[in-house]
Structure 1
Amino acid sequence: MQLNELLATDAWIPSLPEAVQQILAELQRDEPDLRRVNELMSCEVGLTVRILRLVNSARYSAGGGVATVEAATALLGLRATRQLVQAAAVGGAFKGVPGVDLAEFWRHSLDVAKIAQSLAAEFKLDTGAAFTAGLLHGVGDLILKMAMPERPCLQPAFPSDDRRYEAELADLGYAYPEVGSAFASRWHFPAEIVEALRYQCDPTGGKDVGFSSLLYLSSWSARAHELDIDGDAMLDTFPHEAAQAVGLTDPQRLCDGQIIAWTPIDEARDFS
């Protein structure tokens, strides 16, 4: 299947849910009514659960966990609330993808998101956008799997397949970054997230080299964890060019097995 054919088929790219459209429409008003936003969000139980899980996973709270939608929106502010609503809706948009353990997929994606957020804070980049981009980085692969469930290059589990990008390019002529970027654009995610997804495996190819490089580094670190690669073995494959683009001078920073609190499977199940 050609890329333009895939992207033109509505069956493979989920539509933005109506409830989410209403929430985003309110958030886009000149003077959004946060009480109305909270009411709309609270009416969608699955969305609420995923939003609260993401808020707490992202460590937005300085103290204890965030337990209500009202507390979440008060803490986040309008821009971050918008991004998190969109990101949480993605979890509900992909159900029953053939051959995919979605809890494992989102567990890995949350790890990438947490690493991206940690690096963004260190290098003065937008932490909310970094977290969202990390969470969405593999969505294009889910779309490919729905469209072509038997394709050989899509058979290994995404979290542990460190040759996924190259295999898809060789087999299809395109890969999950292009598909994920198109999905993010269709769901009206911010431009920096759309571009970061597009160039996450080729970070020097886009305009915002720093942000796409950050996503590349986060994915590399999380996948090394999946494959139980650490220490000197990680240093041997360290992506120095991407590190330089964000100002990371200490390779050990990403080779530390304690870089984040790795996501437990139960946390991912709440999201999937």
Structure 2
Amino acid sequence: MNLSSSSHIDKHILLDDVIKQIRDLPTLPAVAQELLRDLNNEDTSLDAICEKIALDQSLAAKTLKLANSSVYGANSKVVTLQQAVAMLGVKNVKNLIRMTILSNSFPASRCRGFDFKAFWRHSVATAICSELISRTLHMKHDFAFTAGLLHDIGRLVLVTRFPDEYERVIAYQLQNNCHMIQAEQEVLGIDHVAAGLILAIHWHFSDAIQDAIRGHHKPEIKDLNSVAGIVHVANSIAHALDLSQTENDLVPLLSKATWDTLALTEADYLSIFRETELRFEAMNQVLL
């Protein structure tokens, strides 16, 4: 039997409650903010990136581990950061840094039933797929990667700041076999898109990143940055490839208009699917 909406209406979370909780979240650490700003500078040198990575022991270890993974096929063991960064390339190292900073910003909470590893697997897969779609369309790759990585960030806000309430969302979704965003709206009266937008403003994310969060379920909203459509399609592909390894995962509804607008060929998509899986496996081994 389906749960009725009336049984939840008195327990809805108010938008003001979410805003207050997000205001209580720390801003990104100054070092992280500086590093993320540097990453957006296309003139940042390999040496400068190595110097930043060397300041963080965990990040340095992850960089070396990724460079030595089978995906990048080193003929001999990579032992220095300079070797690792040179082998991986600036783009891959920047993406690794972005993922590390953001995953460290939200430690696991006490919300029963929420799989943090699955969440980050999906976020990383969507980021990689977004970048590959963007590259195929000859657009800015780094930008799409970050947008894909952050598209569901509002879910972490709800899970970490309202864990008890989000347990009811998970229970509702399982009982009704609906998409998680529908369960959030029904149980909480607010969804991860709204929460993500509030966080994006609090953390001073760019307008385009905000558009990707706002439009990843509704890419036809007027005047959205084109990256929103890319993330929308990448999100569905990541779900369809089941890279989060979540039981009973549902693929979100895909906008035919957005799919048609991208105008990619079947061969393009097959290549994107294969490379998404390959690159995801390497990142998954390092981060998760």
TM-score normalized by the length of structure 1: 0.73
Match of 2:107 in 1: 95
Q: Answer yes or no: is 1:143 the counterpart of 2:157.
A: yes
In the aligned structure 1, how far is the partner of 2:209 from the partner of 2:190?
19
In the aligned structure 2, how far is the partner of 1:81 from the partner of 1:189?
20
Give the drift of 1:93: 1.0
Give 1 or 2 for the bigger CA radius of gyration. Answer: 2
In structure 1, the gaps of 5 or more residues are none
| Matching residue within 72, 75, 82 for 2:85 | 72
Give the drift of 1:50: 5.3
Read off the aligned partner of 1:208 and give its amino acid letter.
L
> Closer, same or farther in 2 for the Cα pair 1:241/1:254, shift >3 Å?
farther
In the aligned structure 2, how far is the partner of 1:72 from the partner of 1:40?
12
In the aligned structure 2, how far is the partner of 1:214 from the partner of 1:28?
19
1:201 is paired with a residue of what secondary structure?
Answer: coil
Aligned length, in residue pairs: 259
Contact 2:50 2:81 in 1 (8 A): yes
Q: Answer yes or no: is 1:243 the counterpart of 2:259.
A: yes
Q: Answer yes or no: is 1:44 the counterpart of 2:56.
A: yes
> Closer, same or farther in 2 for the Cα pair 1:49/1:178, shift >3 Å?
farther
TM-score normalized by the length of structure 2: 0.69
Give the drift of 1:124: 1.9
Match of 1:187 in 2: 203
Give the drift of 1:120: 1.0
Contact 1:195 1:212 in 2 (8 A): yes
Q: Residues 205-249 of structure 1: CA distance to partner in whole angstroms, max 9, x if unpaired?
A: 1523532111111111111232799xxxx8xx6531220232236
Give the drift of 1:21: 3.3
The 5 Å alignment of 1:51-200 reads: 64=74, 69-70=81-82, 72=85, 75-76=89-90, 85-98=97-110, 99=112, 100-151=114-165, 152-155=168-171, 163-200=179-216
In structure 2, the gaps of 5 or more residues are 1-12
Give the drift of 1:48: 3.7
Q: Residues 147-179 of structure 1: CA distance to partner in whole angstroms, max 9, x if unpaired?
A: 221222245899xx8601222223333311232
Read off the aligned partner of 2:200 and give its amino acid letter.
A
> Closer, same or farther in 2 for the Cα pair 1:189/1:49, shift >3 Å?
farther
